[in-house]
Amino acid sequence: MPGEKVVTSKIALTYKDEIRDFLASLPPNTPAPLLVGLLATSDPAAESYANWTKKAFEEDGLRYEVRKIEEQHVEEALAQCNDDPNVHGIIVYYPIFGLTPSYSGSSHDDYLRDSVSVQKDVEGLTFTYRTSLYKNIRYLNSNPNSKCVLPCTALSCVKILEHCGVYAKSPGVHNRLQGKTCTIINRSEIVGRPLAAMLANDGATVYSCDVDSIYKFEAGGLRRCDEGTTVKSVVEISDVVVTGVPVKSYKLPTEWIKENTVVINVASFKNVDADELLKIDGVKYVPMVGKVTVKMLERNLCRLYKQYHMDRKGDGKGDPRDALVKQARDFAAIAAVGALSLLALKLAGIWRHCRK
Ligand code: NAD
């Protein structure tokens, strides 16, 4: 049986319905959740992603506003969005500063990523969500309404793989990718690395390829593969291959791909020759993931809105702001320890003074 192209618009429809039902459940005259996009990069891919997002949001009844700003004003614009109760989600389009170092230590883009409020981080890229993903923690606390936010592109790949039947269906199975081997050709912080962790968390063995190295991710850990491991050798044994190489000239040799493999191209360039690929028996080819990614963005926004921004009296589902309370409690505990330490130092000083 020759290969088939997977139509992602069908997968996207499932989530369109979910979002419509959520909006219908809001009290009458409630303004729809608002996502603000901060665009400070001249990268045409970011601008077209922003335009796409706007179109999809309008179609689905959500609100989206893009704010074009100079790069030196991003931090200020981000702080304003964090503080504005009428903004429910924030997306910052990267790269802005690339690898330019920041006063805070890491790159300035990393610093910005961590400056987005946890309650508005639709991309799941802040420290809190990132570390939860890498520790395979799925909720922020014991409240079932406190699900962690996952990065949209990586999540869209997971949903596509579920649709393609790669995940075991039985609800009782914990590691639903047990026995599957996946190769991801991209290890960026936004796409490849979180995707590798998500698939490994679900039980798969994942090979993560970058220009200079191949790493093997298995639940909770990773190790660098030896020199003998090549992209060819890992693709040849993979049930799933995800390509995300942002270069027009890159083409994955189709002769490396075995029968029945699911191949997903997340890059804006076609990293695989589709005609050749579809000659391989049982292959499922997903040429782009954008339609599902935008739905994941909408879904994340609705989730944040429900968890943090909805009137508690209105939903009657317990306390969705537990995460905030926890953050405040942690902060108060740190402040109390600091104050007690100062007091102890002061008392020690008075004691020494009295003994003289
Ligand atoms: P990036 O530039 O941040 O990262 C690219 C990654 O691929 C890096 O880890 C890089 O080292 C690696 N790479 C480059 N050449 C390689 C090679 N020959 N072999 C192995 N690894 C190689 O880009 P990104 O944000 O990860 O985006 C990647 C692509 O995916 C872009 O084309 C982008 O437009 C697209 N993208 C699509 C979506 C979507 O939902 N459709 C979302 C985000 C990004």
What is the tens place of the pLDDT at every residue in 135-169?
999 998 888 888 999 999 999 999 999 999 999 98
Q: Which of 245, 247, 296, 297 to mutate to test the pocket of ligand 1 (most atoms within 8 A of CB)?
A: 245
Q: Which residue has the higher pLDDT, 259 or 312?
A: 259
Q: Which residues of 203-223 are buried (b: 16+ CB within 10 A; e: fewer)?
A: bbbbbbbeeeebbbbebeebe
Measured in angstroms, how far is the CA atom of residue 341 from the centroid of ligand 1? 48
Q: Which of 190, 209, 266, 269 to mutate to test the pocket of ligand 1 (most atoms within 8 A of CB)?
A: 266
Q: Which of 94, 113, 158, 191 to mutate to test the pocket of ligand 1 (most atoms within 8 A of CB)?
A: 191
- What pLDDT was estimated at residue 16? 94
pLDDT surpassing 80 at residue 127: yes
Measured in angstroms, how far is the CA atom of residue 185 from the centroid of ligand 1? 8
pLDDT surpassing 80 at residue 349: no
Report residues whose beta carbon is within 6 angstroms of any ligand 1 atom: 45, 153, 185-188, 190-192, 209-211, 244-247, 250, 266-268, 289-290, 293
- C-beta of residue 204 within 8 angstroms of C-beta of residue 167: no
Atom in ligand 1 nearest the alpha carbon of residue 187:
9
Measured in angstroms, how far is the CA atom of residue 244 from the centroid of ligand 1? 4
Instruction: Indicate which residues carry an active-site annotation.
Output: 152
Measured in angstroms, how far is the CA atom of residue 246 from the centroid of ligand 1? 5
Measured in angstroms, how far is the CA atom of residue 188 from the centroid of ligand 1? 6
- C-beta of residue 66 within 8 angstroms of C-beta of residue 39: yes
Global confidence as pTM: 0.86
- Residue 18's pLDDT band, with cuts at 50, 70 and 90, is very high
pLDDT surpassing 50 at residue 320: no
- C-beta of residue 114 within 8 angstroms of C-beta of residue 126: yes
- Phi and psi angles of residue 141, each rounded to the nearest 5 degrees, phi first: -160, -165
- Residue 107's pLDDT band, with cuts at 50, 70 and 90, is confident
